[in-house]
Chains A and B, each alone.
Chain A
C-alpha cells in the first residue's frame, strides 16, 4: 500500500495491515479535516507533497517507532490533493504486544509526521485560500538534517 495516496483513508485498512498474532493491541489514529480554522469556515484542505521524499519520511517514522517502542508493526498513510472537511487526511496504525506501547508509538508517529514530512496544506475558505506555514525547518536541522536557510 502506498503511504502517499489520493484515495480514501480508512482505519479499517490500516488496522488490517498491522494486525498480527504476535500483537495483543492495535491502536489507530485518523486525522480529519476540521471545518473551521481561527473562526473561519474551511471547505477543504489541499495537500501537496514531495511524494518520493514524503514516502521515505513516513517509512522512516514507522521504522523509528519500531526502534523506540516495543511494537510489532506500524503503518502510516497520508492523503494528497483535495480533502473535504470531515474526511480523513492522515492515518496511523500500530500493533504491539501490549497496549501501553501501542498508544505511545501511535502518538509518536502522528507527532513526527506533523513535524518532518514534506507535506504542505492549503486551507480553502468560502472566500479565499491560504497556505499554512509551519514553524521553521530548524527542528529538522537539529536532528541532523542540514539544509535550513
Chain B
C-alpha cells in the first residue's frame, strides 16, 4: 500500500523534500512507517525526538493503523516561545 508522508521544518530539509510517497509491504502503523523512514534516512532519528504525528490531518498515536492512500504528517516539536 502507498501512503503520502508530509514533512516539516528540519525534517523536510534533512531528506530534501516536504512530501514523499512511501510503499509499504503490508499492513502498517505510524510507528512502522516511521521506522521505515528512519531506515532510509537515519538523519531523521534525532529530529523525531518529541515529534507528534497526524493521519489525514488528525493527531494520531504511533499505534494508529494506516490505510492505503493515507496522508501522514510528521510534526517536529513546535517552536514555543523561550523568551518571546
**A residues bordering B, Cβ < 8 Å?**
31, 34, 48-50, 52-53, 56, 111, 114-122, 131-138, 140-141, 145-149
How far apart sit A146 and B61, CA to CA, in the bound complex (Å)? 5
Q: Let me know if A119 and B78 touch, CB within 8 A.
A: yes
B28-84 residues with Cβ-Cβ distance < 8 A to A are 30, 34, 48-54, 57, 59-62, 73, 75-81, 84
For A136, give the chain B residue with the smallest CB separation.
Answer: B50
Q: Let me know if A116 and B78 touch, CB within 8 A.
A: yes
- Contact A147:B78 (CB < 8 A) given known A31-B84, A137-B51: no
Q: Is the interface of A mostly helix, strand, loop or mixed?
A: mixed
Q: Let me know if A50 and B75 touch, CB within 8 A.
A: yes
Q: Let me know if A134 and B75 touch, CB within 8 A.
A: no
Query: B6-35, CB under 8 A of A: which get 1 and which 0?
Result: 101110110000000000000000100010
Pick from A52, A119, A140: contact of B57, CB under 8 Å? A52
Pick from A34, A48, A53, A138: contact of B50, CB under 8 Å? A138
Residues in chain A near residue B53, CB distance under 8 A: 147, 149
Pick from B6, B51, B78: contact of A149, CB under 8 Å? B51
Residues in chain B near residue A56, CB distance under 8 A: 57
Residues in chain A near residue B9, CB distance under 8 A: 48, 120, 122, 131
Instruction: Known A-B contacts: A120-B10, A136-B77, A147-B54. Give 15 more (CB < 8 A).
Output: A50-B6, A50-B57, A114-B78, A114-B79, A114-B81, A133-B10, A135-B80, A137-B75, A137-B78, A145-B59, A146-B60, A147-B75, A149-B48, A149-B49, A149-B53
